[in-house]
């Protein structure tokens, strides 16, 4: 929508130098048509929620209707929520730093790359290790982040004005917002004057498309996945992806696994469809792999699954865990359909993530004092609480852990020592390299490495190792990115208010001069270093200011991050109708079993690792702090409370329906036909305990139409569809002229965009 409006505006403005706004160019009918064909109408419309029992029993895959009053809250593809109004250059859309000579509070804003090199850059060998926590704490932070937020980039990768590719342009021309490299930067040269950066996609109804809602609203960004902690990185946040991830060779609710390779019988993730531009083949040195075939990227519920080996390993773990749960549920309830098995396993997996995150991860990050202050005891679901991810959380606050990443990815053998065959590697060599899992020992060595080895300790003098500032996502000899600069540029792209503004939001003091900044950071060295770059405390970007603060007692964040993270985790819990402790989501017996879950148990059950710490997040010494996986101190939970009692009701036995499965939902019994059959009659029946009679006759399952008939119908529909599209294309691309208020305007109507 925005791309089309901007293209039309630029085309006509360039020619006639008079029309600046979309409303000057397009009528209300034109805008409505454009909104419909670009999908904006669908994104803005209110979705009614059915009263179906299933909507009370299971989450929708997109998160829609979790809140029945505000159906979009927490759903995929809705804007992030703002806790403070955005701070754009023009108050509307243009990010700070867009105009090079503009001053803020009397000073120019420093380049994002300059901030990175002057304040954050740390040599790989100059880091300190965390004496309290293992690196899996860092891995879990990224894992759970991928369950909560994903910001899509602009749909266009070329400048609207001159169609120059953003990857090769160093000019700020929407959607290009390149990260400029200062002249005195070690990487500055003729061929490397900037790093490519694409602006995040705007939400419909904001920015240029704000006129659709009847008022001009500042640019907002989208969260393309569900906000809820629901294991969406395993299952996806759209129906189409969720369907692709499932095993359709049987009706047992399994997730699909790799059909070409396995870890000696243990499953790997399936592969993505091979493409010409496959980033997971660019990381291989072709001269050293002989005749081995190219290994594509893995397919998972989140598009970032292949970013590095740690993420690939966790995705593999929870794929196996889902299929393990499904197998056990099938043994307990052989009458359940594959859909019921899938949904129940997905529900349990979501609870696993909630419990591990809020019980074992969040308190370690916030520290005991801040946890008590910001995470009050759970009192039940509150439908007035907005559970959406905030823009500042996704774009700045939860990126704090980037400065705790170790520059080495350790791979260890069965005795937790260096693996001589497949030794540890520099972090940048693990980016987009699933082939290392397939060909270099599987996921077990990686899991052992993150469990035993320490996280990097964030200190005020050792922030981000050069693996991330100089070698991020570097395939072969291509330009490497800078994670710190990306974080800063993204914050400006999203219009995040300054560090001081967020301290004011949290009720904290704001530094106005060097002496006050020294007090806030408790460091003369760091305060002077930051002020030398920013010139004034009011210009400090929120991300750099937040990670620069001293850590709270027994925490891994400072006071601002504790406030922002604590607020987000509280609303995610209290505003989730399917929170595992909410009455009616699980039975009391089921909650008792779920409360036993630990990441240690899941790792034991889904790998061949035989000794592990009781608390994998804490720093442990091998072998003293490691116990056998079959030890009682790492309890296994029983799925026995999920067994349905299906023999008798007050109306007698549940009616038997041939070629169908059934399950209970509150007081009703729901029937589902086996694959290849469709249901005739009522899909659910209810027993009247007073009369002892069923509400209606049981349904029947009828075989679907034959494959030949189905093929014939498909062909006819396809032919008709193609004819219809051709007709629309012919009509839709016609140019027409119209006269409006004495001025000639040429408007190009594009009804469809056909790939």
What is the rounded CA–CA span in Å between residue 672 and residue 678? Answer: 8
Pick the catalytic residue from 72, 146, 330, 353: 146
Q: What angle do CA 58, 363, 625 make, to 5 degrees?
A: 105
The H or E element spanning position 701 is strand 700-703
R_g (Cα) of the chain, nearest Å: 28
Burial class (CB in 10 A: 0-12, 13-18, 19+), 708: exposed
Phi, psi of 718 (to 5 degrees): -65, -45
- Give the pairing of strands 464-465 and 121-122: parallel
Q: How many CB atoms lie within 10 A of CB 286?
A: 10
Phi, psi of 227 (to 5 degrees): -70, -30
Which CA distances in Å does 96 have to 86, 433, 436, 498, 571?
11, 36, 41, 11, 30
Burial per residue of 30-59, b for 16 or more beta-carbon CB atoms within 10 angstroms, e otherwise = ebebbbebbebbebbeeeeeeeebbbebbb
What is the rounded CA–CA span in Å between residue 427 and residue 445? Answer: 15
What is the rounded CA–CA span in Å between residue 38 and residue 1? Answer: 6
What is the rounded CA–CA span in Å between residue 437 and residue 311? Answer: 12
Strands (E) in 324-430, as ranges, are 408-409, 425-426
Distance of CA 389 to the CA centre of its chain: 11
* Residue from 202, 213, 200 nearest 4 by CA: 202
Per the listing, tokens 């005891």 go with 377
Q: How many CA atoms lie within 13 A of 98 on its CB side?
A: 22
What is the rounded CA–CA span in Å between residue 228 and residue 354? Answer: 9
Q: Is residue 77 within 8 Å of residue 39, measured between CB atoms?
A: no
Q: Is 146 a catalytic residue?
A: yes
What is the rounded CA–CA span in Å between residue 366 and residue 374? Answer: 9
The H or E element spanning position 698 is none
The H or E element spanning position 350 is helix 338-356
What is the rounded CA–CA span in Å between residue 386 and residue 227? Answer: 10
The residues assigned a catalytic role are 146
């Amino acid at each position: 929508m925005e791309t089309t409006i901007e293209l039309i505006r630029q085309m006509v403005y360039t020619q006639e130098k008079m029309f600046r706004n979309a409303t000057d160019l397009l009528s209300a009918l034109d805008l409505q048509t454009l909104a419909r064909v670009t999908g904006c109408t669908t994104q803005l419309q209110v979705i009614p929620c059915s009263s179906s029992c299933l909507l009370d029993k299971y989450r929708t895959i997109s998160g829609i209707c979790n809140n029945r009053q505000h159906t979009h809250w927490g759903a995929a593809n809705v804007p992030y929520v703002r806790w403070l109004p955005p701070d754009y250059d023009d108050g509307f859309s243009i990010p700070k730093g867009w105009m090079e000579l503009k001053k803020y509070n009397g000073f120019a804003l420093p380049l994002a790359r300059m901030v990175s090199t002057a304040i954050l850059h740390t040599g790989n060998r100059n880091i300190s290790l965390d004496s309290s926590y293992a690196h899996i704490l860092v891995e879990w932070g990224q894992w759970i982040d991928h369950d909560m937020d994903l910001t899509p980039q602009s749909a266009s990768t070329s400048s609207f004005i001159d169609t120059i590719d953003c990857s090769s342009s160093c000019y700020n021309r929407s959607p290009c917002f390149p990260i400029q490299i200062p002249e005195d930067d070690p990487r500055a040269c003729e061929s490397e004057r900037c790093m490519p950066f694409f602006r995040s996609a705007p939400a419909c109804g904001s920015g240029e498309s704000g006129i659709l809602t009847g008022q001009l609203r500042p640019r907002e960004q989208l969260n393309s996945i569900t906000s809820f902690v629901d294991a969406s990185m395993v299952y996806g946040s759209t129906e189409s992806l969720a369907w692709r991830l499932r095993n359709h060779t049987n009706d047992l609710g399994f997730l699909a696994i790799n059909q070409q390779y396995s870890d000696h019988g243990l499953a790997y993730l399936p592969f993505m469809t091979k493409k010409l531009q496959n980033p997971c083949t660019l990381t291989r040195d072709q001269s050293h792999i002989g005749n081995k075939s190219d290994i594509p990227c893995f397919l998972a519920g989140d598009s970032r699954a292949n970013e590095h080996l740690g993420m690939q390993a966790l995705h593999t773990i929870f794929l196996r865990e889902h299929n393990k749960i499904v197998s056990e549920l099938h043994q307990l309830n052989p009458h359940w359909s594959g859909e019921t098995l899938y949904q129940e396993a997905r529900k349990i997996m979501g609870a696993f993530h909630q419990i591990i995150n809020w019980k074992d991860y969040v308190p370690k990050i916030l520290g005991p004092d801040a946890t008590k202050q910001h995470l009050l005891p759970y009192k039940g679901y509150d439908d007035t609480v907005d559970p959406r991810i905030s823009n500042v959380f996704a774009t700045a606050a939860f990126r704090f852990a980037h400065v705790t990443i170790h520059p080495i990815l350790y791979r260890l053998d069965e005795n937790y020592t260096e693996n001589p065959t497949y030794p540890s590697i520099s972090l940048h060599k693990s980016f987009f390299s699933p082939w290392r899992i397939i060909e270099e020992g599987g996921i077990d060595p990686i899991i052992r490495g993150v469990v035993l080895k320490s996280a990097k300790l964030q200190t005020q003098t050792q922030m981000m190792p050069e693996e991330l500032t100089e070698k991020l996502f570097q395939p072969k000899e291509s330009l490497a990115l800078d994670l710190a600069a990306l974080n800063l540029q993204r914050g400006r792209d999203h219009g995040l208010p300054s560090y001081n503004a967020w301290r004011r939001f949290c009720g904290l003091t704001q530094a106005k001069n060097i002496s006050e900044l020294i007090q806030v950071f408790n460091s003369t060295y760091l305060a002077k270093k930051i002020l030398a770059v920013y010139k004034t405390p009011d210009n400090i970007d929120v991300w750099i200011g937040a990670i620069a603060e001293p850590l709270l007692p027994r925490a891994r964040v400072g006071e601002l991050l504790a406030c922002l993270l604590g607020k987000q985790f509280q609303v995610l819990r209290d505003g989730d109708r399917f929170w595992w402790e909410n009455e009616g989501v699980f039975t009391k017996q089921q909650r008792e079993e779920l409360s036993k879950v630990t990441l240690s148990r899941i790792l034991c059950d889904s790998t061949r690792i035989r000794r592990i710490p009781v608390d994998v997040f804490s720093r442990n010494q091998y072998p003293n702090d490691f116990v056998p996986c079959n030890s009682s101190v790492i309890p296994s939970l029983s799925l026995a409370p999920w067994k349905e009692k299906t023999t008798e009701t007050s109306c007698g036995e549940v009616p038997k329906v041939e070629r169908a499965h059934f399950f209970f939902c509150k007081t009703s019994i729901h029937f589902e036909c086996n694959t290849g059959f469709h249901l005739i009659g009522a899909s659910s029946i209810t027993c009247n305990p007073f009369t002892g009679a069923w509400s209606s006759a049981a349904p029947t399952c009828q075989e679907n139409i034959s494959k030949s008939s189905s093929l014939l119908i498909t062909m006819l529909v396809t032919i008709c569809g193609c004819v219809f599209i051709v007709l629309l294309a012919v009509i839709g691309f016609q140019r027409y002229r119209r006269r409006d208020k004495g001025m000639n305007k040429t408007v190009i109507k594009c009804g469809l965009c056909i790939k």
